[in-house]
Amino acid sequence: MTFDYALLTNRDEVVGYLSLVGLLGALADEPADVTVREVTAGNMNRVFIAAGPLGSVAVKQAPPFVQAAGPEWPIDPARIGAEARAYELLGRLVPDAVPSIVHVDLDRFVMVMEDLSALEVLRDELVRQVQDATAGRAVSYIDYGAVGDVVGRFVGELSLATSAQVLGASAHAELVADSANAELCRLTTEVVLDEPFRAHEHNWWHPSLDERVAALYEDAEVQAGVALVRDRFENASQALLHGDLHSGSVMIGSTPEKTQKVTVFDPEFSFVGPIGLDLGLFWSNLAIASIAARAAGHEGLAAAREDAIVASWQAFVDVWDDDDSVDVDDDLLESVRSDAWRFAGVEAMRRVAGWSHAADLETLPSDAAPAAQRAVFDAARHWIVTGTATALTLTDDPTSPENPGATP
């Protein structure tokens, strides 16, 4: 896999690029008045904020490798095209929940978009709340029910509009082909659905999980559950998905009217797949955040975070129920919910026993970490095996396989 294009690495290159594509004038009259700072935070791409007296934009470029790993992990940069296609559709369906796109360059794999730097990544806020509460500082308020409502509506509107029921068989088949995202689907298969469930060099875990991880690789029930999840991921072409909807793909902040603003971004993993995937990834990350808060002794904060799970499911159901053009039965909704919990399980397992771990857990005080790690592991196992939820609780028994969870 060889790609020959220039990567943006510094301020002058970003300014030069914006000038080349005719966007610099929207920021400043003179190039010298533009500042650039790198805000790369995710695993896949590089992101810069370019700002001047007249405005600001975010400049995102996909390198031909996984940004967090480097050139030794090559991957097709055309993923930026999948993200752009997803944004185009989302901009029509849920314009208030996604950033606006200014420019797409599929030769250099660059996307210029609305600057969201006034907002905060939800994952960062989840971590900060626990740290502030633990230190006795004032904790910023987040309306978790409203966060869940936006995410659930986002998933509902996107999945409904791109379902076979709404599009018809021919248009839906065309969408499946046009939205194929083989490279990033393969990455999901490897990092989420394969590596955490067998001995692999990418895997690492907290010492409190030694016995659990050793048993995991021989756990027939888990292996059967993961096989079911993988089959759904590969074969259930139900609707267009975000594909990577975790707490690092949601931003929150305030509007000029001082109301809470919630924005979903980074749909580069977008493809047509099982509707439950997006809900499950979101639920898993909010459940992890709830467990982290509970382990640190902040019960009220933990309970508030579970509100997002409940609200997202209700918002999703409302979108589908309110559309008279489709027949929605309990079997369909139950299938989506079961899929969602199983996907929540594989996501949670990779966050404690795979390659990319949850900052919510990794930043906990050392005395709180073991119980939280065990609780997330046990929740993950339960969700994978049963496709159902259960109360998010902690156990003091380091060998107990009792399984916490959360109920929408």
Q: What is the pLDDT of residues 10-63, one digit of tens each?
A: 999 999 999 999 999 999 999 999 999 999 877 789 999 999 999 999 999 999
- pLDDT > 90? residue 108: yes
- The closest alpha carbon to 336, from 357, 319, 356, 353, belongs to 319
**C-alpha separations of 225 from 55, 86, 261, 287 in Å:** 49, 30, 37, 20
Task: Quote the pLDDT of residue 4.
Answer: 82
How large is the average pLDDT for residues 169-189? 93
Residue percentage of the chain with pLDDT more than 70:
96
Question: For residue 400, what pLDDT is reported?
Answer: 53
CA distance readout (Å), 301 to 101, 219, 271, 397: 35, 33, 34, 24
Identify the pLDDT of residue 396: 63
Q: What pLDDT does residue 397 have?
A: 61
Torsion angle (degrees, nearest 10) of CA 53, 55, 61, 66: 90
In this prediction, residue 404 carries a pLDDT of 43
What are the tens digits of pLDDT across the range 362-403?
A: 999 999 999 999 999 999 999 999 999 977 889 766 665 544
230-268 pLDDT, tens digit per residue, is 999 999 999 999 999 999 999 999 988 889 999 999 898
Measure the CA–CA gap between 355 and 332, rounded to whole angstroms: 33
Q: Are 130 and 293 in contact (CB under 8 A)?
A: yes
Helix axes 276-295, 330-353, angle to 10 degrees: 50
Q: 194 pLDDT exceeds 90?
A: yes
Q: Is-contact 383 344, C-beta < 8 A?
A: yes
Specify the higher pLDDT residue, 302 or 406: 302
Q: Which pairs from 72-75 meet CB under 8 Å and 24+ separation?
A: 74/1, 75/1, 75/44, 75/183, 75/184, 75/187
Which residue would you say has higher pLDDT here, 75 or 285?
A: 285
260, two tokens: 């809470």
pLDDT in tens, 121-140: 999 999 999 999 999 999 99
Residue 41 is predicted with a pLDDT of 74
State the chain's mean pLDDT as an integer: 93
Q: If residue 35 lies in a helix (H) or strand (E), which one and from where to where?
A: strand 35-38
Q: Residue 113: phi, psi to the nearest 5?
A: -140, 175
